[in-house]
Amino acid sequence: MKFPGFVNLLLLLSLFVLSSCATASFSRYKGVGRIKTYHIESSDLPASFDGFRMAFATDFHYESRFSHKRLHSMADALRSLDADVLLLGGDYRGRNGGNVDELFYALKTVETPYGTYAVMGNHEHGENDSLVRKAMAETGVKLLEHATDTLWSGEDFILITGIRNPFDLGRNGMSPTLSLKPEDFVVMLTHTPDYVEDTDISNTDLALAGHTHGGQISLFNRWTPAKFSKYGNRFLTGKKYNSSGIPVIISNGLGTSRRDIRLFTPSEVVLVILKVKK
**Between the CA of residue 1 and those of 116, 223, 230, what are the distances in Å?**
29, 15, 13
The yes-or-no verdict on residue 203 having pLDDT over 90 is yes
Residue 93 lies in a domain: yes
CA 53 to CA 37: how far, in whole Å? 10
Residues 6+ apart with CB under 8 A from 79: 109, 110, 111
Element (H, E) at 19: helix 9-22
Per the domain annotation, does 180 fall within a domain?
yes
| Model confidence band, residue 7 (pLDDT cutoffs 50, 70, 90) | very low
Q: What are phi and psi of 270, to 5 degrees?
A: -120, 140
Domain region containing 44: 34-276
The reply to whether 100 falls in a domain is: yes
How does DSSP classify residue 107? H
pLDDT band for 269, please (50, 70, 90 cuts): very high
- The answer to whether the beta carbons of residues 57 and 70 sit under 8 Å apart is no
- pTM for the full predicted model: 0.91
CA angle 212, 38, 102 (to 5 degrees): 55
- Could you tell me if residue 41 is inside a domain? yes
The number of folded domains in the chain is 1
Which CATH number do you get for residue 158? 3.60.21.10
Give φ, ψ of 59 to 5 degrees.
50, 60
C-alpha distance across the termini of the chain, in Å: 43
Alpha carbons 226 and 232: distance in angstroms, whole number: 9
Q: What is the dihedral of CA 78, 81, 86, 89, to 10 degrees?
A: -60
Instruction: Please state, for a pLDDT cut of 90, what percent of the chain lies above it.
Output: 78
Instruction: Tell me the CA distances in angstroms from 136 to 102, 152, 212, one per residue in order.
Output: 11, 22, 23
**178 inside domain:** yes
In this structure, is residue 38 part of a structural domain? Answer: yes
Report if residue 42 sits inside a domain. yes
**Average pLDDT in the 189-217 region?**
97
Contact 119, 190 (CB under 8 A): yes
Q: Is residue 18 part of a domain?
A: no
Q: What is the mean pLDDT of the segment spanning 19-32? A: 63
The CA-CA-CA angle for residues 272, 238, 99, to 5°, reads 75
Q: Is there a cis peptide before residue 63, judged by omega within 30 degrees of 0? A: yes
* Segment 137-194, tens digit of pLDDT: 999 999 999 999 999 999 999 999 999 999 999 999 999 999 999 999 999 999 999 9
Residue 4 binned pLDDT confidence (cut-offs 50, 70, 90): low
* Average pLDDT of the chain to the nearest whole number: 90
8 three-state secondary structure? coil
